[in-house]
Structure formats: structure tokens, C-alpha cells
Structure 1
Amino acid sequence: MIQAADIREWRAQGVIDRDGHRIGSLEAVYVDTRTDEPAMATVRVGLPTRHRLVFVPLDDTIVGPGYVKVAYDKALVKKCPPIGTDDVLPAEDEAAVFAHYGLTYQPGAGGERQLARR
């Protein structure tokens, strides 16, 4: 697993899909609040004047010189429910991000968020 401190160094680096197609640039890392392990990242996608942030899971991620390679297809990542570039992911929208990738969403017993930005 990639350590949070390591992947933060790759902020603004190119994010590519499993086939090497450029998706966008890494914006931020989100950890799973239960384990404090990196779980997802936001990727800046779109045109310079019209961009947004989308989430991508970090499982099976490979970090190389100047890039972060994720295990998901570019088209799937770009269709993820977006947030604005100055926004945060509302707690009530977390489940939709997990569902988009077919992942199980498990908030805390008291309704705590599963993701926290680092």
C-alpha cells in the first residue's frame, strides 16, 4: 500500500489509467477514516477553463517518475460524480462515489464519514 506521506509528494503529477491514457492531475489524497490508509484521490479533469475534481480509488496504484497510474479506466473515472475545484465532498455524497466504482460504502457506527482529506 502507498503511504499517505509518499503520495502527497505526487500532488499535481499526471494521473494515468491502467492503459497509460492521461486522466488529469492529482489534486488531493483521501484516507479511510477507519484505517488512516490512503483510499481515494481527487483528480483534476477537464479543460483549463472548465475543470472539476473526480474521485478515483487508490487500490493497486503504481507511482512512477512523474505519474500516478490507477487501476481504473479513464472513461469510468471521468464519469464519477464530480465536486467543484473549491468544494469538499459532502458527507451525503460519499456513498455515490463508492457506488460508482462498485465498492462497499461503510460509514462509522455513529454516521462518521469514511473519507478524510490529507
Structure 2
Amino acid sequence: MIHAADVREWRNRDVLDPESHKIGVLETVYVDTTTDEPVMATVRTGLPTRHRLVFVPLGNAIAGPDYLKVGYVRRLVKEAPSIGTDGVLPADQEEAVFKHYGLPYQPGAAGERQLARR
């Protein structure tokens, strides 16, 4: 299991797929608002003049000395919902990220968001 304290050290690490293909660079980690455990990250991809942030789940992620290996192939991650490097994920688009990866989405009982940026 990945602990929230560890993720502070991950920023700017390379993010790799299961076959060690580079997807991009880790930008931000999102935690589940009910458990405060890391569940999702944004990865900076694209050309230097046109970066974007794509979302990738952290389930089964492996942290190495200078990389983070996620359990999803590069193509799937690059096709995931994205935001601009200065943007935020609107609440009404949060479910689409989970759906893209075939993961269940459960907003809070009062309708609050599942993800919080750390």
C-alpha cells in the first residue's frame, strides 16, 4: 500500500506503464476524501509548449528510486480525461475519470467529491 506521506517525494518523477514505457512526469497526487489515501495522480504529458495533465489511478502503483510505475498502459493513460496545467478537474467531470479506467465511482453521502488534491 502507498502511504500519503510518501507521495510528497514523488513530484517530478517519471511515470511509467507496466512495460516501462514513459508516460510523462508526475504532477499532483489526489487522495480519496473519505480515507485520505492516494488514489489518483495527474501526469504531465505533451510537448513542452503544450503540456496537459492526464489522470491515472494509483492502485497497484510501484514506487522506484526515480520513477512511479502504474498499472495501466501508456495509450490508455494518454487517452484519459485531462486538464490544462493550470486547470482543476470540475466536479461534474470527476466520474468520467473513474469510468475511463473501469473503476467504481462513489461520491460522498452528501454529494461531495471523491478526490482531493494534495
Aligned residue for 1:94?
94
**CA apart distance, 1:109:** 1.0
Cα drift, residue 83 of structure 1: 0.5
Correspondences of 1:25-44 after superposition (within 5 Å): 25-44=25-44
8 Å CA contact retained: 1:18, 1:72: yes
Shift of 1:34: 1.1
Q: Structure 1 residue runs of 4+, over 4 Å off?
A: none
Q: Which residue is equivalent to 2:23?
A: 23
Distance 2:16 2:41 in 1: 13
CA shift digits 1:25-48 (9 cap, x unpaired): 000100001111000000001111
Instruction: Quote the Cα distance in structure 1 between the aligned partners of 2:8 and 2:26.
Output: 9
1:34-75 per-residue CA deviation (whole Å, 9 max, x = no partner) reads 111000000001111111001100000100011000000000
Aligned residues: 118
Equivalent residue, structure 1, for 2:50: 50
Q: Which moved more, 1:1-10 or 1:46-55?
A: 1-10
Amino acid at match of 2:94: E
| Alpha-carbon distance between aligned partners in 2 of 1:87 and 1:108, rounded to the nearest angstrom | 23
Cα separation, 1, equivalents of 2:110 and 2:33: 13
Aligned residues: CA RMSD: 0.6
Percent identity between matched residues is: 70
Separation of aligned partners in 2, 1:97 and 1:74 = 15
Q: AA paired with 2:66?
A: G
Gaps of 5+ in 1: none
